Each structure stands twice: as structure tokens, then as C-alpha cells.
Amino acid sequence: MPRLVRDTDDPPLTTPPDDVTPPSDEQIERWATAYLRHAPLSLTLREINRLVAIEAVSTSRGPVLDVGCGDGFWWTLRDHDHREIYGIDISAAEIAQARTRIKAELTDVSREEPFAGTRFEEIIGNCSLEHVPDIDAALHNLRAVAAPNARLVMFVPTPRWAYHGRIQGFLLKHAPRIAMSVSGALNGFFQHWHLYDAKVWTRLLAQHGWKVRATYGLGSARSEFLFRLFMPPAFGEFLIKKLTGTYPSRLARFLPDSALAPFTRLVRWAVTDPLVPADSPTAYEYMIIADAIEPPRQ
């Protein structure tokens, strides 16, 4: 599988390299089957797209810090036999589940350094840092626990993600106030404190000792269509999880693989092109890859 190796003085990549090869269809369908037994289809589409993207361009290095690890389920799908995986989250319920899968601690990264004394070679923010109100403090603490050769991989929403979809497109053209109200409601529901374009993230990371070497987009037209098609039931499952600690989709573990096969093939089809240019109109997220450098003096 190809790896990205670039001089840190090069300008950041924004278009996926031609030689990036995602995991096999069989592997993607295995991941999708496992995730459909854990979470709703809309979330499965997002998580599998991120998983395929990071596996297509990643290197194996450790120890790894997962910022906002949630229940740690992601790591049951990734190959980490030779890496120590650490995770932090602000939810005690999520950390309790994560501890059955990885080394996890209840930590607010904007208030303290995670796992003080450990230096991480890879730090992953899987759609987590946009939820941290004090992003400067969080990035400062993450840089403090990064090894000299560390790499940061973060997934964050693009500023216009909530305007995607045909309904929002129609409203934006004919009733922009309504479209903006819907966008604000979506971002408020998901508690998105930081919706920046790639250039702003690049400057912000540079202030805290990170040199961005690549920024890609995630999201094709077909994956975005399916995500929004299945979003309404996912909202309901999200609220149920807040009350019970698990998604109702876990009931799918009682179903045979054959019953889930149409949905796993649908997920695999949706994430066939895991990476798109950072400025693609269908990109709902950025995947930002940065290397640790000396932070500027304050």
C-alpha cells in the first residue's frame, strides 16, 4: 500500500496522489458488516470512509493517541498488533466501553496533557477537535505529548458540510435564510465549535508546532446522498444511545451476514473513492495530515 513521504518544506498536498490504493473490496465489506452491527447506516458510511482513507495513506507507527476515542470500537477494525493504542474522551460512559478495547482515560484535552509522561508518534483526531471549545489549549497539550517525529491526522468538517444535499441546495438558492437556519441547527446539534477552511486550520496548527503536509477531502456525491437519505433514523438512534449507552443497531448482531450483505455492498460502493480534492464541492470533511515541528516562540 503506498505511503506518503514528503519533505516538510513542500507545500501541502490538496489533491489525492494517483497511486493511493484503498483496501480491497472484501476488507471494506468486512469492516462495514462489523460497523452495521454497532451503529446506524449513516454513521457507518462516515466511519468506514474515514477508515478506508486513513488506511490508504497511513504508516504504522506507535504509540498512538486517539483524541475523542468514544467507545474505541474503531480499533477493533484496525490492525494494531504492534502498536500501543491510547484513547481519551470526556464521556465516562464511552471510556468505560473503550477500556475493554484500548488503554483509555477520562481526559479533557483542553485542560490537561493526556497520559503525561508518554510521547506519541501518531495522534488521531477522528472528528473530535471541532467539538473542543478551547482549541488553542487542546492543540498546545497535544503538541506537548507528541514525539519529535510525530504525525497528526485529524478529520474535521468542512465549513459548508451542512449545506450539502439537494434540499439544502434548493433552499440556499431560493431561501438562503432558511438554509442558513438549518445549517446552524445541524452544527448546533453536533456542537461544532470550529468550522474552518483548510487554510485556517493550516495556520492554526502552525501556531502550535504542526506543519501540514496534506489536506484531502472526504465525500463523493453518492456517499453524501446515502448519508442524508439515512440520516433521520440515525438521529433517533443517536438520542437512544444518549439514554442507554448503545445504538439500537447493535441488535443487528443477531442477523446473519447474508441479511446485511446488501447494506455492506452499499457502503462499499459509497466509499469507492475515499479521498477527493480538498476543495471538492462534495467534500464534507477534511483529512489533515501534519508533522511535528518546533512551535514558534510565544
Residues in CB range of 126: below 8 A, 6 or more apart: 50, 66, 67, 68, 69, 74, 155
C-alpha to C-alpha distance for 277 and 263, rounded to whole angstroms: 27
Query: Do 129 and 65 contact (CB within 8 A), yes or no?
Result: no
| Position 159 confidence tier, pLDDT thresholds 50, 70, 90 | very high
- Residue 235: its H or E element: helix 231-244
Residue of 248 and 78 predicted with greater confidence: 248
Residue of 10 and 175 predicted with greater confidence: 175
Answer whether 0.75 is exceeded by the pTM. yes
C-alpha to C-alpha distance for 11 and 178, rounded to whole angstroms: 38
Q: List the single range of 9-23, 54-68, 144-158, 203-217 with lowest mean pLDDT.
A: 9-23
C-alpha to C-alpha distance for 121 and 39, rounded to whole angstroms: 29
* Mean predicted confidence (pLDDT) in 202-221: 94
C-alpha to C-alpha distance for 29 and 43, rounded to whole angstroms: 15
| Position 216 confidence tier, pLDDT thresholds 50, 70, 90 | very high
* Mean predicted confidence (pLDDT) in 141-149: 94
**Structure confidence by residue, pLDDT tens digits, 281-291:** 999 999 999 99
- Cell numbers describing residue 178: 432558511
What is the dotted CATH code of the domain comprising 25-159+196-292? Answer: 3.40.50.150
* Residue 184 C-alpha from the chain's centroid: 21
Instruction: Find, among 108, 109, 104, the residue nearest to 139 by Cα.
Output: 109
pLDDT at 2 over 60: no
Rg value, the chain, Cα: 19
**Structure confidence by residue, pLDDT tens digits, 85-105:** 999 999 999 999 999 999 999
- Domain locations in the chain? 25-159+196-292, 161-192
pLDDT the model gives residue 83: 82
pLDDT the model gives residue 297: 61
pLDDT at 3 over 50: no
In order, the DSSP letters of 172-215 are HHH-HHHHHHHHHHHHHHTT------HHHHHHHHHHTTEEEEEE
pLDDT the model gives residue 180: 95
**Mean pLDDT of all residues belonging to the chain:** 90
| Position 129 confidence tier, pLDDT thresholds 50, 70, 90 | very high
**Structure confidence by residue, pLDDT tens digits, 26-52:** 999 999 999 999 999 999 999 999 999
| Position 6 confidence tier, pLDDT thresholds 50, 70, 90 | very low
pLDDT at 8 over 60: no
| Position 207 confidence tier, pLDDT thresholds 50, 70, 90 | very high
| Position 7 confidence tier, pLDDT thresholds 50, 70, 90 | very low
